[in-house]
Amino acid sequence: MLFSRSVRRYKAQEIGGLQSLAEWLGLSTDELNVAGEKALKEITVYTCIKILSETLGKLPLKIYRDVDGKKQPAAHYLAPLLKYRPNPYMSAVDFWKTLETLRNLYGNAYAWIDIKRSGIIQGFYPLDSRRMKIYVDDMGLLSSKNKVWYVYQDYLGKEYKIIPDKILHFKGLTTDGIVGLSPIEMLKCTIENGKAASNFLNSAFKNGMTTSGIVQYVGDLGPEQLKTFREKFEEMASGLKNANKIALMPVGYKYEPIAMKLTDAQFLENIKLTIQQITAAFGIKLHQVNYLEKTSYASTSEANREFYVDTLMAILTMYEQEIVHKCFTDSEIRDGFYAKFNANVMLRGDTKTRYEAYARAIQNGFKTPNEIRALEEDAPMDGGDQLFLNGNMLPITMAGAAYKKGGEVNGE
């Protein structure tokens, strides 16, 4: 091997009970394969990844500059790329949705930074996570020691060695800080459980909810006669077209169903537990996947805030730090340039609540009217750049000062 140590994608661990589970449910092992994109066929996984990717996609990414502690929007040539059109083929919404989907499917998302010879960035292009390998040069054979290298293979089989400065690498949960772990592989058993339950119900409905059973016959039938009878009986009694129809039995035959009630198998409880486990792993709140048991308006509002604080903030911070490190020069970083997703669009709430918060911000002197108008995308007004303070709030030592004249209380 070229390097003394390499970092590669983790391989999925086979679940020992998958084969027996599939056999018990009457499904093939292939039907329960949830590797990569196939995991999206499980509704809870699809919903969780859809929520995370669309949430990231709808947040505008803006460039700011911190000058002497004063943070304000800054003019920078990267702003249109990051906010509107990272490349000629997709909008910013589609670009960030794609990266977040890949990150949640494979644990890693990559975007190639198209840099001109002059050092100017002219585009960002997402790469297929399955075709990327990561190597660590422990011995300094190609460059400086401990340099990380990315090797990407395109769909024609050609390999490209890419330096880290030209790759945006967004990771999921990681144990080494270099390669992210795939949530799908880590949750393989749980996702297969949910998919098996869904396939089982789907198969039951296709069969018209007909239960399996035993046909008793007093006599002897040869193999061909048994096969013929089974095929004709299933054709007559199973399937949606035969649901709730009367099945006729020949003389001498007796059918005894083997019924397994879903409640006896704790089927619904198993589905609920699977939903709770998958949503918890992705950091999604239950009401976001329409699991509304014991849910009220107040608890939903609090859950939305928790989703932002507990789940989204870590994801946004990871994206922002990688973008700043790879997209801005050292001098620009020293000058205070940085990129930040505007998460205020999630926290605005309804109009009444938002305006009450604005009023408090102005009355307490930490927001100017024009700053509030900028949040609502309204034009600034004359005189709106100064801070205001409610005159009713005074230090306790100044109580009654307005009624004193010459050191004495007015009128005395």
- Name the residue ranges covered by the structural domains of the chain: 1-206+261-347, 212-258, 348-412
**Predicted local distance difference test score (pLDDT) of residue 77:** 93
**Predicted local distance difference test score (pLDDT) of residue 13:** 32
**Predicted local distance difference test score (pLDDT) of residue 66:** 87
Strands 108-115, 70-73: parallel, antiparallel or unpaired by DSSP? unpaired
CA distance 269 to 208: 23
Model pLDDT for residues 285-339, shown as the tens digit of each residue: 888 888 777 666 556 667 777 888 888 999 999 999 999 999 999 999 999 999 9
Which residues of the chain register pLDDT less than 70?
1-36, 138-146, 198-222, 225-226, 228-268, 294-301, 345-350, 377, 390-412
CA distance 279 to 282: 5
Maximum Cα–Cα distance across the chain: 123
**Predicted local distance difference test score (pLDDT) of residue 1:** 30
pTM for the whole thing? 0.70
Helix (H, G, I), strand (E, B) or coil at 303: helix
> Helices marked H in 149-296 — which ranges?
183-186, 188-206, 223-237, 267-282
CA distance 74 to 328: 13
CA end-to-end distance (rounded Å), the chain:
96
Cα 5–Cα 9–Cα 14 angle in degrees, nearest 5: 120
CA distance 396 to 398: 5
**Predicted local distance difference test score (pLDDT) of residue 360:** 82
**Predicted local distance difference test score (pLDDT) of residue 15:** 34
Q: How many residues make up the chain in this entry?
A: 412
**Predicted local distance difference test score (pLDDT) of residue 142:** 60
Helix (H, G, I), strand (E, B) or coil at 366: coil
- DSSP annotation of 257 reads E
**Predicted local distance difference test score (pLDDT) of residue 288:** 85
HSE-up of residue 173 (Cα within 13 Å, Cβ side)? 13
**Predicted local distance difference test score (pLDDT) of residue 85:** 94
The residues near 270 (Cβ < 8 Å, ≥ 6 apart) are: 193, 197
Indicate the angle between helix axes 267-282 and 188-206, nearest 10 degrees: 140
Q: Which long-range contacts (CB under 8 A, 24 or more apart) does 227-232 make?
A: none
> Helices marked H in 59-167 — which ranges?
79-83, 92-106
